[in-house]
């Protein structure tokens, strides 16, 4: 491992100051503004990790399977933050809780009063909250420390961190209406916010999640910055291509933004010293057909964009997919860390299983990337990019080709059915275009990587990423057949893609017994040497214990949603898998050292902190209704039992 020493030396210099700040607490969604998901704490180590036990559990009550009072289902994806000795987190229904970090006791809670009848496009989700300290306020002033949260019904809210009371000087009674200027919704919940805002200087910046496949004229995906004290709009970045005519302001002067643009639904990151905000973008609506007349609409689509945080000006743009027709939008927080040679790096995980490593000041590759030819011949009227960007290093973290002879099943008939299904699809590897006969998408729209992103151990020069390996089938059909086709297969996802010639059918490629048609592992945890761009190890993540008809803990690796946490002691903590466990792995070898049972699915990213002289590891265990994991409402804290050796 001697080749890691230069990175470790640089990292030590870069991170020493940050370690003092981040060692005790976890002040941002990703641990720090750049989202490394790394902690300098080392009380929990390989030698004692098996002594972890549940220290406390907090139950919030906000869970829905869509069959009761709440029309939408829930996914508990929150990562708490620890600021000024208090733990803050949000629930799927956007309630915010403040807890004692040592006991889990409630200090306050706030309820936004969401409408249960809303049909929220991306489920009811809240991944986290943001903290901001007003340096100009008196030490005892109300709202000197603010907790910002954004809701599924499109409100940006400022709460007093001490009391949970909305800050009266922010917007109207502590809230800003994010629906103003984005265009009308067709239903409540077509436009929502699922990821935490970002506070920089005296600004708070927020993106949005928009229903992808409903219509061409979906609400705008504009990114906006508001004054952190008053809530006044300070700047707006409209993601329409340069030169696109902008709508005239509303009669009351409210700016209006171009509809149907890419949106920014995943978490953002920031580099305050460089005045840079890093934005992972989605693709324009709809996902699977845009045609020649909209071929320029994705100018900023499926990209990492660096904005000047103080002004919203574009500094650089790197597109991970050209003219994205696969729902390969950038799903994860850009991660800022020391890179090869000590350069300031941005590490971007993608749904393709590609890991792009860029210079954060310029967007130039720090590890080589090349344009390669990709399949052509899309649906009638479609325009395809002849090439796509592929990292030369590291190699893909997920498989990208599934042939009929690769079909897998637990029985011969199961395997034969999968083999026939694969052979009947258009299947030319990654970037096979959507088609009328049905195209195999591998990886699928869920990843590769998804919103959990990566964790970085700067001392060891390692990046950790969890990936999925699940093929999907996408079929286009004449738009006028949408209602009939949807009625004929009610258990399958259909979308109208209004404004295009085609409706959409999308489904995972499963055997008659309901298992993936590709061989396992269906989920892995991977470690990458950041200096060399090489995979150091990869191991299956999770068992089929909680997803198979019989609870046999076969470690096949399963689909997963959530992310990893790295610590200075050489541990990687992750839940994410569709079985109900939090696990700890050895950072150098990938050996699973410990697992702790959870009361529900842990489709979230853990965090860690020290409180009352003790290190805790906390994970949201509430499941993911659409993924099919066990639902619940628990925030679970683990700590070492007895005396710490």
Query: Per-residue pLDDT tens for 345-374?
Result: 999 999 999 999 999 999 999 999 999 999
Residues 501 and 449: their CA atoms lie apart, in Å, by 30
> Given a cut of 90, is residue 514 above it in pLDDT?
no
Band of the pLDDT at 172, cuts 50, 70, 90? very high
Q: What angle do CA 206, 211, 214 make, to 5 degrees?
A: 150
- Pair of tokens at residue 350: 């993608």
pLDDT for the residue numbered 25: 87
> Given a cut of 90, is residue 19 above it in pLDDT?
no
Strand pairing report for 175-177 and 96-99 = unpaired
How would DSSP label each residue in 320-371?
Answer: SSSS--S-----S--EEEE-GGG-EEEEEE-TTS-EEEEETTT--BSS-EEE
Band of the pLDDT at 552, cuts 50, 70, 90? low
pLDDT tens for residues 392-449?
A: 999 999 999 999 999 998 888 999 999 999 999 999 999 999 999 999 999 999 999 9
Residues 274-282 have a mean pLDDT of 98
Length of the chain in residues, anyone?
Answer: 645
> Given a cut of 60, is residue 508 above it in pLDDT?
yes
Q: Which of 160, 327, 529, 580 is catalytic?
A: 327
pLDDT for the residue numbered 80: 98
Band of the pLDDT at 15, cuts 50, 70, 90? very low
Mean pLDDT score across all residues of the chain: 93
Non-local CB neighbours of 252 within 8 Å, separated by 6+ positions = none
Domain boundaries, the chain: 2-640
Q: What are phi and psi of 106, to 5 degrees?
A: -75, 135
Question: Rg of the chain's alpha carbons, rounded to an integer?
Answer: 23
> Given a cut of 50, is residue 12 above it in pLDDT?
no
Residue 214 annotated to the active site:
no
Band of the pLDDT at 558, cuts 50, 70, 90? very high
Residues 122 and 68: their CA atoms lie apart, in Å, by 18
Select, from the ranges 14-23, 293-302, 590-599, the one with the highest average predicted confidence (pLDDT): 590-599
- Pair of tokens at residue 100: 């004692």
pLDDT for the residue numbered 10: 34
pLDDT for the residue numbered 3: 32
pLDDT for the residue numbered 179: 97
pLDDT for the residue numbered 631: 97
E-only strand ranges, 418-501: 439-441, 454-457, 462-468, 472-478, 493-495
pLDDT for the residue numbered 644: 47
How large a percentage of the chain has pLDDT more than 90?
89
pLDDT for the residue numbered 24: 79
pLDDT for the residue numbered 18: 41
Residues 458-486 have a mean pLDDT of 97
> Given a cut of 90, is residue 131 above it in pLDDT?
yes
The SS3 assignment for 52 reads strand
pLDDT for the residue numbered 452: 96
Band of the pLDDT at 556, cuts 50, 70, 90? confident
Residues 104-118 have a mean pLDDT of 97
pLDDT tens for residues 319-334?
A: 999 999 999 999 999 9
> Given a cut of 50, is residue 8 above it in pLDDT?
no
pLDDT for the residue numbered 549: 57
pLDDT tens for residues 373-398?
A: 999 999 999 989 999 999 999 999 99
The answer to whether 170 and 233 have CB atoms below 8 angstroms apart is no
Q: In what order do the strands lie in the sheet with 565-567?
A: 38-39, 565-567, 571-574, 581-586, 592-597
The answer to whether 311 and 419 have CB atoms below 8 angstroms apart is no
> Given a cut of 50, is residue 20 above it in pLDDT?
no
Non-local CB neighbours of 185 within 8 Å, separated by 6+ positions = 179, 191, 219
Question: Which CATH architecture group holds 2-640?
Answer: 8 Propeller (2.140)
pLDDT for the residue numbered 546: 74
- Pair of tokens at residue 560: 């997963």
C-beta atoms surrounding 417 within 10 Å: 18
Residues 520-535 have a mean pLDDT of 96
> Given a cut of 70, is residue 227 above it in pLDDT?
yes
How large a percentage of the chain has pLDDT more than 70?
94
> Given a cut of 60, is residue 59 above it in pLDDT?
yes
**Residues pairing with 573 in the sheet:** 565, 584
Residues 473-487 have a mean pLDDT of 97
- Pair of tokens at residue 635: 């925030």
């Amino acid at each position: 491992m001697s080749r890691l020493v230069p990175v470790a030396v640089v990292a030590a210099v870069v991170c020493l100051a940050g370690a003092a700040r981040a060692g005790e607490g976890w002040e941002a969604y990703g641990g720090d503004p750049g989202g490394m998901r790394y902690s300098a704490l080392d009380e929990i180590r390989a030698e004692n990790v098996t002594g972890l036990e549940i220290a406390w559990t907090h139950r919030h009550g906000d869970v829905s399977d869509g069959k009761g009072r709440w029309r939408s289902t829930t996914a508990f994806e929150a990562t708490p933050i620890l600021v000024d000795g208090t733990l803050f987190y949000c629930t799927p229904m956007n309630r915010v809780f403040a807890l004692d970090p040592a006991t889990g006791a409630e200090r306050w809670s706030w309820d936004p009063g969401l409408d249960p009848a809303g049909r929220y496009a991306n489920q009811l989700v809240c991944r986290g909250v943001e903290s901001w300290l007003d340096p100009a306020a008196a030490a005892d002033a109300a709202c000197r420390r603010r907790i910002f949260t954004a809701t599924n019904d499109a409100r940006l809210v400022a709460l007093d961190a001490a009391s949970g009371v909305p800050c009266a000087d922010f917007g109207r009674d502590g809230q800003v209406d994010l629906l103003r200027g984005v265009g009308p919704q067709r239903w409540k919940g077509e436009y929502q916010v699922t990821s935490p805002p970002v506070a920089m200087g005296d600004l708070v910046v927020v993106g949005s999640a928009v229903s992808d496949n409903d219509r061409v004229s979906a609400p705008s995906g504009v990114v906006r910055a508001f004054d952190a004290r008053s809530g006044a709009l300070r700047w707006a970045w409209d993601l329409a291509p340069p030169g696109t005519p902008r709508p005239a302001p509303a009669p009351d002067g409210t700016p209006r933004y171009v509809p149907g643009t890419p949106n920014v639904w995943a978490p953002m990151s920031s580099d305050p010293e460089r005045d840079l905000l890093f934005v992972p973008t989605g693709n324009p609506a709809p996902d699977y057909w845009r045609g020649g007349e909209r071929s320029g609409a994705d100018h900023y689509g499926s990209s990492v964009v660096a904005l000047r945080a103080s002004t919203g000006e574009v500094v650089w743009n790197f597109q991970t997919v050209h003219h994205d027709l696969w729902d390969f939008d950038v799903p994860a927080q850009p991660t800022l860390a020391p890179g090869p040679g000590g350069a300031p790096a941005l590490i971007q995980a993608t749904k393709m299983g590609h890991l792009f490593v860029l210079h954060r000041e310029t967007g130039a590759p720090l590890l080589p990337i090349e344009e390669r030819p990709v399949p052509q011949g899309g649906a009638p009227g479609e325009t395809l990019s002849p090439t796509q960007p592929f990292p030369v290093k590291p190699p893909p973290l997920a498989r990208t080709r599934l042939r009929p002879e690769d079909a897998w099943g637990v029985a011969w008939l199961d395997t034969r059915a999968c083999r026939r299904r694969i052979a009947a699809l258009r299947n030319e590897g990654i970037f096979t275009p959507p088609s009328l006969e049905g195209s195999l998408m591998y990886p699928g729209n869920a990843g590769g990587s998804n919103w959990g992103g990566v964790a970085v151990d700067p001392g060891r020069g390692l990046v950790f990423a969890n990936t999925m390996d699940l093929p999907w089938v996408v079929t286009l059909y004449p738009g006028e057949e949408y209602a009939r086709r949807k009625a004929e297969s009610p258990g399958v996802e259909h979308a109208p893609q209004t404004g295009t010639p085609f409706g959409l059918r999308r489904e995972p490629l499963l055997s008659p017994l309901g298992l993936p048609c590709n061989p396992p592992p269906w989920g892995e945890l991977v470690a990458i040497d950041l200096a060399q761009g090489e995979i150091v190890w990869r191991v299956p993540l999770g068992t089929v214990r909680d997803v198979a008809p019989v609870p046999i803990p076969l470690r096949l690796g399963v689909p997963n949603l959530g992310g990893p946490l790295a610590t200075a002691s050489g541990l990687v903590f992750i839940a994410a898998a569709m079985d109900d466990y939090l696990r700890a792995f050895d950072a150098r070898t990938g050996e699973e050292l410990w697992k702790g049972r959870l009361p529900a699915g842990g489709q979230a990213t853990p965090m860690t902190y020290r409180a009352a002289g003790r290190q805790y590891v906390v994970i949201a265990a509430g499941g993911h209704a659409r993924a099919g994991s066990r639902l619940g409402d628990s925030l679970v804290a683990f700590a070492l039992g007895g005396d710490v050796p």
